[in-house]
Amino acid sequence: MLFDFSVAFTFFLIGAAFIGVNLLISRMLQPRHPTAGKLSTYECGEQPIGQSWIQFNNRFYVIALIFLIFDVEVAFLFPWAAVFKKLGLFAFVEMVVFVAILLVGLAYVWRKGDLQWDKPETGKYARAAAPEFYSETPAPAITPKEELVSEPV
Amino acid sequence: MQELVRNLQNISFFSNFSPTLLSILVMVAGGVLIATVLAINALVLVYLERKVSAWMQDRLGPMEVGPRGLLQTLADAIKLLQKEDIVPAAADKPLHLMAPLLAFAAPCAAFAAFPYARNIVFGDFNIGVFFVIAITSLTVIAILLAGWASNNKWSLLGGMRAAAQIVSYEIPAALAILVVVMQVGSLSFQDISLAQDGGIHKWLIWHYFPFNLIAFVILFIATLAECNRTPFDLPEAESELVAGFHTEYSGFKWSVFMLTEYAEMLIVAILSSVLFLGSWSSPIPGFLNSGAWGMFWLLAKAFALIFVQMWLRWTLPRLRVDQLMYLSWKVLTPFAFVCIFAVGLWMLV
Burial class for B47, CB neighbours closer than 10 Å (0-12, 13-18, 19+): buried
* B23: amino acid identity, one letter: S
Whether residue A119 has pLDDT greater than 60:
no
Q: Where does the pLDDT of residue A57 fall: very low under 50, low under 70, confident under 90, or very high at 90 and above?
A: low
CB contact under 8 A, B171 and A60: no
Question: How many angstroms separate the CA atoms of A67 and B166, rounded?
Answer: 10
Question: How many angstroms separate the CA atoms of B127 and A2, rounded?
Answer: 12
CB-based contact, A145 to chain B, within 8 Å: no
**How far is B278 from chain A, CA to nearest CA, in Å?**
19
Whether residue A89 has pLDDT greater than 70:
yes
Which pLDDT score is estimated for B10?
73
Mean pLDDT of B160-181: 88
Whether residue B11 has pLDDT greater than 80:
no
Question: How many angstroms separate the CA atoms of B149 and B172, rounded?
Answer: 30
Mean pLDDT of B327-333: 88
CA atoms within 13 A on the CB side of A20: 9
More confident call, B338 vs A62: B338
CB contact under 8 A, A1 and B125: yes
More confident call, A98 vs B6: A98
The CA–CA distances, whole Å, from B93 to A52, B12, B183, B216 equal 15, 50, 48, 41
CB-based contact, A33 to chain B, within 8 Å: yes
For residue B84, give the nearest of A32, A77, A78 by CB distance: A32
Q: Which residues of A touch B345 (CB under 8 A)?
A: 92
CB contact under 8 A, A26 and B126: no
Which pLDDT score is estimated for B44?
92
Which pLDDT score is estimated for B273?
92
Q: Where does the pLDDT of residue A123 fall: very low under 50, low under 70, confident under 90, or very high at 90 and above?
A: low
Which pLDDT score is estimated for B204?
85
| pLDDT tens profile B39-75 | 899 999 999 999 999 999 998 888 888 888 888 888 9
| pLDDT tens profile B245-303 | 888 888 888 888 888 889 999 999 999 999 998 888 888 887 777 777 888 888 999 99
Question: Model pTM greater than 0.80?
Answer: yes
**How many CB pairs below 8 Å do chains A and B form together?**
225
For residue A51, give the nearest of B151, B325, B340 by CB distance: B151
Which pLDDT score is estimated for B335?
92
Candidates B19, B54, A97; CA nearest to B10 is B19
| pLDDT tens profile B85-131 | 888 888 888 888 888 998 899 888 888 888 888 877 777 778 888 88
Q: What mean pLDDT value characterizes chain B?
A: 85
Write the CB contacts of B287 (distance below 8 Å, at least 6 apart in sequence): none
**How far is B55 from chain A, CA to nearest CA, in Å?**
33
CB contact under 8 A, B1 and A5: no
Whether residue A122 has pLDDT greater than 60:
no
What is the ipTM score, two decimals?
0.86
